[in-house]
Chain A
Amino acid sequence: MTMPHTPALQLQGIVKTFPGVRALDGVDFDVRPGEVHALLGENGAGKSTLMKVLAGMYQPNEGRILIGGKTVAIRNPIEAKAQGVVLIHQELSLVPEMSAAENIYLGELPRKSLGRVDWKTLFAKSNAILERLKCRFRAEVTVANLSIANQQMVEIARALTVDARVVVFDEPTASLTDAEKVVLFDIITDLKAQGVGIVYISHRMDEIFTLSDRITVLRDGQYRGTLDTAATNEDEVTRLMIGRSLDLTRHEAPPEFGKTMLEVRNLSCAPLFRDISFSVRAGEVVGFYGLVGAGRTEIAETLFGLRSPSAGEILVDGQPVQITNPRAAIALGISLVPENRKEQGLVLHMNCRDNMTLPQVQDLTSGPFISNGAEIAIFDQYRDRLAIKTPSWKQSASVLSGGNQQKIVIGKWLSMQPRVLIVDEPTRGIDVGSKSEIHTLLRELAAQGYAVIVISSEMPEVLRVSDRIVAMYNGRIMREFDISEVTEDNLVQAISGIKAEEVA
């Protein structure tokens, strides 16, 4: 057995079950020293579960983990790290009030006598790691004051305090700008050159094809195969992932729409957005495109009665209205599928049915009691219509995959029979297959006469679903495009405020 052929890490026949779910079903996976191995699969395919098994957060029911060719038991993340396996989380898990250095060495701070922290060593070692990562901030800085990208760097720095054999990146670019991505990719290339095995989890095909040497695909908890990146293409990978090819066409506008359902005139909510005017007609999808912080979510929240506008008018069905709280918005037929489904969309520990009927539970009564039958009827109807995959309505919403959770939230608002449906980042953190299903669904809803507003930060998404696109920058509408006239270039210009600077 010669060294270069021994994988840094091997997982063999891993099985992990949860009550009612076989989350991993005999999965094989290995990483060689000095390679980037991408792990792909839809949400709910088992990627995160596999990585949690690897990091010792879950114990597998069956299967073996080998590190450097030897079988090991990993009982918790500390043991995993001691074995040189480090997980960089999708969601940041830093202590914001502490310095970067303290976060980097959290749990293993260098000590002096009497257990006092050796600050000098701590900062020196931390700064050395940050320099290696080419970070332009010092380890003394408080994490809360760092940008998300730099926080991610701290998270990565954490992995480098030990001699890492395997570093797992779980959706590392979700919150990074393009420039920051370049830095991250440099770091990954660096680590690779040092002989570290990299596991790279992402939904973004372009990144995977740029970075990876091999690609392993999971579907429904099962191992679907491993491909050499050089010898495959996006189409083949997608088919392995979802079992069919993906439709990436642009939406073609139908000839005519119904009457105007919602109109907004000079709406302002200082300092979040100013002078917003637009309208949505029945049967139409209007896409709001812009950078994070451009004020799009805040407009949606204002229309849903969660914020009070400082000026301007809202007209529903031609009538001026005051929307002071979400109940008023719901009564006017406005529904909002919020941006963050776990925090704003769902009561996670409640079951699927109760989540779905929550906005109207007070109307589903017979006498003083909730009518079980009426509730189940609504759930069944939208489960079928949206193809929600859950064994039963009694399932807690927390255990569903992201795509199915999102469908529960969409079903919740469709069951309110809205006239205007606002959908904020409908496919954030959702896998490719469910993404395309949700896009099709949004178009179908428009075809049925709903007026739909889609807020999205992903250009393919707005292009695919919208009839018109409103481009926003820094709280203002820069330009409105008809889908037939929009090009990727002028869309990007509009949301980067280039036009605004020329004018000013």
Chain B
Amino acid sequence: MLIARLKAGGPTLAKQGILVAFILFMIVFSFMSDRFMTTGNVMSVFRQATIVGVMALGVTIVVIGGNLDLSVGSMLSFATVLVVDLHDKIGPELAVPVMVLATLCLGAVNGFLIGILRLNSLIVTLGMLSVIQGLVLIYSGGQNVDIANQSETWFRVFGRGAVMGIATPIILFVGLALFFHILMTTTAFGRRVHAVGGNPVASVFSGIPRSRIVFLTYLISALCVAVAAMILGSRVMGSQNNVGQGYELQVLAAVILGGTSLLGGSGSILRTVLGVLMLAFIQNGLILMGQPYYTQWLVTWAVIIIAVWLDVAAKRGRLLSPIA
């Protein structure tokens, strides 16, 4: 009986593998460095993780819908440069909505090409990664931008503010994560995204407006980028042209680490949050242990590949298999 229950619980345990690995990492790091487990360090890692984190929420939804979004990195550059540059020109109360709208337009382009025209999402968003980076350089003329009066503006609240002792970025990230979690698990929209990602043909045969659903997932992804840009622009109070470069891979890493299937149809917002935190704490732990920053990439992707392997192994019930 006990064995039967353990066997039945096997896949569930494997599903929690990321959680187990996360806790193990935390324990190991807290023994290796006495600064690691301090409130100050934990909160600061958490705060830094929010930019990758917020974007990973949107990308999780895109991936559950059966597509990819590699354009979020350069979209972040675009949005941050835009909001910082417009801040002094038209004031923050206009700069923020203009930036959000412009970013949503980029998301709509992705959504149109992938959702409506049904082009391959890898090709489209890889292309958009370059196109948007080009747009940023044209817009800024290659100049980096910054905000002149950094201490006076209310715009500082997104990146530097705090409510009741908790940093605003953390509140934004946690709030959005909860919101999207509820959206994906309890609403008809969430169900339809899962269906479209799980079997697009059967979805169409069930009367689901597949094009519209995919389009919306890219709008959500762009909205998340806009929020991330508010946090980033407000924290730095300036922006380089390529500030978002490389973020797409970190975001994708967090999504994969969270166990969202790249084949579409299954995934979880809350587990993406775990993936984000795990990535952030691995990187922070390595730095505290005195490792050069580039080792983090080695370790991060080693962890991801092992995680994917264990996940696949749990599904087929053995570590190596000639089939499937």
Give the B-binding residues of A (Cβ under 8 A).
Answer: 19-20, 57, 76-78, 304, 306, 325-327, 329-330, 336, 338, 343-350, 354, 358-359, 361-362, 364-365, 368-370, 412
Contact = CB atoms under 8 A, between A and B. Distances in A.
Contacts, number: 81
B191 to A, nearest CB: 5
Interface string B307-324: 000000000000001110
B207 interface: yes
B187 A370 contact: yes
Contact of A369 (B11, B187, B202): B187
Given A327-B207, A349-B266, A359-B206, 5 more contacts: A346-B199, A349-B198, A364-B188, A368-B186, A369-B187
Interface in B193-236: 194-195, 198-199, 201-209
A76 B322 contact: yes
B207 A349 contact: no
B200 to A, nearest CB: 9
Given A19-B8, A76-B322, A343-B199, A369 B186 contact: yes
B265 interface: yes
Contact of B205 (A57, A344, A365): A344
A361 B198 contact: no
B188 A362 contact: yes
Contacts of A325: 207, 209
A78 B323 CA distance: 10
B interface, size bucket = 20 to 34
Chain A binding surface, main DSSP class = mixed
A336 B194 CA distance: 22
A370 B198 contact: no
6 contacts: A77-B322, A338-B205, A348-B198, A348-B199, A350-B195, A370-B188
A361 B195 CA distance: 11
B187 A368 contact: yes
A90 to B, nearest CB: 16
Contacts of A78: 322
B192 interface: yes
Nearest to B8: A19
Contacts of A345: 202, 205
Contacts of B321: 76
Given A76-B323, A344-B201, A358 B195 contact: yes
A19 B5 CA distance: 10
B89 to A, nearest CB: 38
A359 B207 contact: yes
Contacts of A329: 207
A441 B265 CA distance: 32
A304 B205 CA distance: 9
Nearest to B321: A76
Contacts of B198: 347-350
Nearest to B318: A59
Given A343-B201, A346-B202, A20 B192 contact: no
A349 B186 contact: no
A359 B183 CA distance: 18
Nearest to B196: A347
Interface string B16-43: 0000000000000000000000000000
B322 A347 contact: no
Which among A329, A347, A370, A412 has the highest number of chain B CB atoms within 10 Å? A347
A349 B321 CA distance: 21
A361 B192 contact: yes
A160 to B, nearest CB: 22
A365 B188 contact: yes
A412 B201 CA distance: 16
B214 to A, nearest CB: 15
